[in-house]
A and B are shown apart, each in its own frame.
Chain A
């Protein structure tokens, strides 16, 4: 105990341990106990949720299908340079023949064909056609001639360039596709204007989400203001009108809008009855952007009202009274004194509604038609119909990044600890 300055007493516990060490042990035990309580859920969420998301991120760059199906060809292609403008030599074709024999036996060549078809149209049928003929090839004749005889495409630089390009284990191809770009001989370029769909779809998702956010704000602000100004008894009663839609199933609300907005639906019937709309020219309000905007504004409106209300509830009415007593009229008092204090609520509500809306799938799918769908609908299409999983994963990754950025903004404004429900 030589490091203790003279005259200072070392505090110890009853059993003689230094108090500092005893405290540290107790603290460590407490930390471990807290972690032990959190651990089951943390492990559960990591396995059931975070791992799948990670898997998806990985799938957006993963590309082992070419090296797995054509291992020898990949090695042989290493020496070939597409810039020469010449098709590869006989060695590549020989390696390709060996790979194809095995692939045809395991029936993996069609899978490879459909994968490469995402990059270059027509390769899928080329592989299927060649797969049928490869068994009959004669090892004595040069394979290059025999393959070109099956299909002229085997003699072109383009076909081999695509195979070589996708012969590494990882690819940026899906991401390029998701950005409507492609790799050409001159480098990365945007696709021709008429083939661009994803940039447009991302743009529309952002645009529709903004429109929905703004309409939620316009409708939500007066309601939140009224709720916060009324005495508690009546505001609690009116709050039920906000909470009931909040608690009602998403599908119930979407089906309600489908029923209301149809051409033979309640709203059109009513408009025809009062004579605003002619029976033969009923309004088209569904299966287009109008349908998506109306239905999603209704669905997300409570998510705007609740944060706005909780901020407005804290604004003291005495500031507005003070402004008025100093000569401000109603509008000035509201705009210069009340409104600035409600801005945090607007920020919280708007970011929340925007985050929720850019990821929406069900409502646009049911009421959006073709012009009102979001990027999510395209992701779903690639998973369940076109089976281009890599592209679905790349689009999903981009959407996830967008949401994460917005979420960090939300965290700065509100803080995730302050999220309130109901």
Chain B
């Protein structure tokens, strides 16, 4: 499929290009909705579609007013602040607990391993609405509902499976004799962990942390139920903005979030290349 042989029949030739066209359309379907909001976010009008002035590339048709609104509107700023306060703490909790557990799970003798794994992975599998419902009932009983820590703990729990999975994947390629070598040279286990093990598994830890961060930064269902008005996060504000009154500021926020995901994707790609280089494979 990759290359058309010189002896291909006209039918094969037609199919070859038709197939590529179909795939092109699917890629267009994947990327177009994300890309279309970037120009629309500079709309000078409060419309969700291209105005005549925009299509004519008239500078008067474009403006930064939606961005201006995002950066000056206290509702949006409060939401941004909350997201920035919640996500890093949840990430820190998820990453530290998750990394330790992944190292524990990678040992050769772990009793009840399948059961433990099932429990630790469950926050990723259970539908969010069920997690949100359960947490709402339970956290109300213990007085965590509507508090900052309630949201942080919930988000940390949702983020841990991603840390476990990414760190476990890195540990599969980890040579355990390095730990023994370090110990035989007199290093205690803490030194071994920070000087030998950690630098080698750091790509997995960082990408797990990124996943945990994006989980919290992007999460809306749990925070809707578990948070009170003072824990309103960016996705929450977007959700209410979309459901109640469609405010065009959403397009500016969405564009900024696309920019964030492009940065994240780049970081992950660099990590992937680094770890492939370390393992002696050439980056693709």
Contacts and interface: CB of A to CB of B under 8 A. Distances in A.
A281 to B, nearest CB: 17
B235 A259 contact: no
Contacts of B162: 421
A245 interface: yes
Interface stretch (A8-16, A52-60, A90-98, A122-130): A52-60
A264 B246 CA distance: 13
Main secondary structure of the interface of B (DSSP, over half): helix
Contacts of B117: 416-417
Nearest to B282: A232
A245 B31 contact: yes
Interface in B89-141: 93, 97-98, 100-101, 103-105, 107-111, 116-123, 125-139, 141
A61 interface: no
A359 B30 contact: no
B137 A362 contact: no
B7 interface: no
B109 A34 contact: yes
A326 interface: no
A254 interface: yes
B30 A396 contact: no
A156 interface: no
A249 B134 contact: no
Given A257-B33, A383-B225, A241 B135 contact: no
Contacts, number: 273
A380 B111 contact: no
Interface of B: 1-2, 12, 15, 19-20, 22-23, 26-27, 29-31, 33-34, 36-37, 40, 47-50, 93, 97-98, 100-101, 103-105, 107-111, 116-123, 125-139, 141, 153-154, 156-157, 160, 162, 164-166, 168-169, 207, 211, 214, 217-218, 220-221, 225, 235, 238-239, 242-243, 246, 250-251, 254, 257-258, 261-262, 264-265, 268, 284
5 contacts: A49-B157, A53-B126, A253-B34, A256-B36, A265-B48
Interface of A: 27, 30-31, 33-38, 40-42, 44-46, 48-56, 59, 219, 222-223, 225-226, 229-233, 236, 238, 240-245, 247-260, 262, 264-266, 269, 298, 301-302, 330, 355, 358-362, 365-366, 376, 379-380, 383-384, 389, 392-393, 396, 399-400, 403, 407, 416-417, 419-422
